[in-house]
Amino acid sequence: MTYVSRNRTLICTALFLCALTPALAADWAQFRGPGGLATADDQSLPTKWDAETNIAWKTALPGPGASSPIVVGDRIFLTCYTGYGVDKKTPGEYADLVMHLVCLNRADGAVAWEKPFKTEAEMPPISVYQMALHGYASATPAADADTVYTLFANGEVAAWGFDGTQKWTRNLNFRVHPWGAGASPVVAGDVVLALECIGGGVLVGLNKKTGEEAWRQGNIDVAWDTPLILEVGGRHEAVVSAKGVILAFDPATGTPLWKAKGIPGYLCPSPVTADGVVYAIGWSAAGEQAVAVKAGGQGDVTASNVLWRVDRGSYVPSPVYWDGHLYWAHESKGKVYCVNVKTGQLAYETDLAPKPAWIYGSPIVGGGNLYYVDRNGVTYVVAARPQFEIVSVNTLTGDGGTFNASPIASEGQLLIRSDKYLYCIGSK
């Protein structure tokens, strides 16, 4: 398998997303990159590094965050928070909480500008336990050709010019749970989608130029996954995996399109798609599950469009599709999985070695390999094929932070973010 022969559906989906959101071909402008598919165009990505070797640059960040960086042209954008909850032993005062949007130069990691700001929306202060798990900057920004869109834990969306000028801000009036809003915003045509399922069960479409609310759909229960935008049968769909159901809406109008029986539990992993099929994984009290649902239906399509189910899944990381197979990691068991998407059969279920810490970041695929990053900064490079093989294990020791973000690929390099630093891995 080479990138010359990469799956045609992934190419079509990426082109569709470029049509919806004008950007350079090499951009990684939302959570998990073009189409939310976590699939890199790069034919060669680094497979060996440590804290001193094969690091192009390393930049200290103003504060912690679980969000991933994004890349648009020669800029990197990411979010952080300060003032409250940074020191878990002495969190400070909630009134001192400050959010940050940071812009770095892609070439050398230098901070081009940083925008600290207070948000207007309120939310219950999270516990020390919750701070330690993810904090207040969990949602990855999204961008189009000239604007960056941010969403923080209290459910406030803001739009920023590439020079750091705030264009608009919108309090979505989410009934935010103490865990905070964690799903990342997504740009679909003229609309920015924002999801908050744990407190209020709401998916909102905002006019990306003005921030005005275009539509709102409720009764979306218990999920933190980022909406998946796809095209099937000439129609655009925004798909959300919620408790017990997978839902599809018209991203421009919010009109419900179809629903199918989903996973009866707590949904953090974001769905992916290939060949007109949506793949979702998750956790429930009855056990983990993965499900494949044919998109493009109308109304309740449970009976005819659910293709298969597997009693394996994950609580936090999302899956990635590559070359007829679905891959993912379990957040706490240290296991990785591969499923044949045609048959729904497990190709492998294997322990990573040495056993990782918990895995919160979602994997990416590039250069024929999968990249899994655990919360201690250990990256497992695994061959992207249905025969399990560890290519390398790489450790960023001495960081002092937690690695909750998903890695991204850019220009033949990897960007990996911790609470403390952003690393650019690969030759300078």
Q: Report the CATH number that the domain containing residue 133 is assigned in CATH.
A: 2.130.10.10
- Domain of residue 390 covers 3-425
Question: What's the pLDDT score for residue 13?
Answer: 45
Interatomic CA distance for residues 416 and 78, integer angstroms: 12
Q: Tell me, what's the pLDDT at 200?
A: 61
Residue type present at position 213: E
pLDDT digit string (tens) for 150-206? 998 777 899 999 999 999 999 887 666 666 667 899 999 999 999 876 656 889 999
3-state secondary structure of 10: helix
Side chain identity, residue 317: P
Longest dimension (CA), the chain: 55
Quote the pLDDT of residue 198. Answer: 61
Nearest 10 degrees: Cα torsion 312, 316, 317, 323 = 40
Classified as helix, coil or strand, 48 is coil
Q: 3-state class of 273 per DSSP?
A: strand
User: Distance (Å, rounded) from C-alpha 222 to C-alpha 207?
Assistant: 25
C-alpha distances (whole Å) from 360 to each of 34, 124, 357, 375 are: 20, 23, 10, 7
pLDDT in tens, the chain (428 residues): 233 333 434 434 444 444 444 444 579 999 999 999 999 988 899 999 999 999 999 999 999 999 999 999 999 999 999 998 888 788 888 888 899 999 999 999 999 999 999 877 666 666 766 666 778 899 999 999 999 999 987 778 999 999 999 999 998 876 666 666 678 999 999 999 998 766 568 899 999 999 999 999 988 888 789 999 999 989 999 999 999 999 999 999 999 999 999 998 878 899 999 999 999 999 887 789 999 999 998 888 766 789 999 999 999 999 999 999 999 999 999 999 999 999 999 999 999 999 999 999 999 999 999 999 999 999 999 999 999 999 999 999 889 999 999 999 999 999 999 999 999 999 98
> Domain tally for the chain?
1
- DSSP assignment of 95-145: GG-EEEEEEEETTT--EEEEEEE--S---PPPPHHHHHHT-S--SPPEE-S
Output the CA–CA distances (angstroms, integers) from residue 228 to 154, 184, 186, 356, in the order listed.
22, 11, 8, 28
Fill in the amino acid letter for 116: P
Report field, pTM of the whole predicted structure over 0.85: yes
In terms of phi and psi (left: phi > 0; alpha: psi -120 to 50; beta: otherwise), the region of 13 is alpha
Sheet of 75-82, strand order: 70-72, 75-82, 98-105, 111-117
Please report the pLDDT score of residue 91 as a whole number. Answer: 84
